[in-house]
Amino acid sequence: MWFFLLFIAVPVIEISLFVTVGGAIGLWPTILIVLVTAVIGSTLMRSEGVRAMMQIQNALATGENPASPMAHGALVLVAGMLLLTPGFFTDTLGILLMIPAVRTGLLRKLGPALARRVHTTTYTTGGGFGPGGPAGPGWRRGPGGDVIDGEYEVQDTDEPRPGRDDPRLPPERE
């Protein structure tokens, strides 16, 4: 329902703003403003996107949770799309989303609602297939309690691997 209302409301707002601004400053200055905001938007999207990517890489390298930088990166992408869309209303929203403080405030407001909808299971190193099985040491269950099952294949190499003969690990299949 909300999507349908936005689908109708945004074009109506944009058309009314085009008519109002075009009537006040003329056709060519209005078109020039729209083109300039598209160029500024693509430039900002590139620089803020690179910044977000560096923050994600830094978080991963230091072992921190990359969720916040990833959320900022997603909002930068949305902001860039809004700035590339012709219109004054979408440009205003896009410029606002390019401001890091605005993104942080928006994520603070929306974060708890999104966290309730997302269920994760994370495996951390240092544990594994202990007495408790897959849910033993090293496994963390998300709010839903689901464990995601997957397949893997052990590729044997001639190089020695540390811990290969560790009695706590399950025997390798030949």
d(CA 35, CA 58): 35
pLDDT tens per residue across span 122-171: 555 544 444 444 544 444 555 555 566 667 777 766 655 555 555 555 66
Read off the pLDDT band of 17 (50, 70, 90).
Answer: very high
Q: Which residue has the higher pLDDT, 174 or 100?
A: 100
Q: What is the pLDDT of residue 128?
A: 45
Please give the Cα distance from 72 to 69 (Å, whole number).
5
User: So what's the pLDDT on residue 146?
Assistant: 58
CA 123-129-130 angle, to 5 degrees, is 115
pLDDT at 138: 47
Q: Which two tokens stand for residue 33?
A: 């403003």
Residue 141 in tokens: 């269950």
Domain residue ranges of the chain, discontinuous segments joined by +: 11-117
Q: Residues 80-127: pLDDT tens digits?
A: 888 888 889 999 999 899 888 999 999 898 877 776 776 555 555 544
Find residue 74's DSSP bridge partners: none
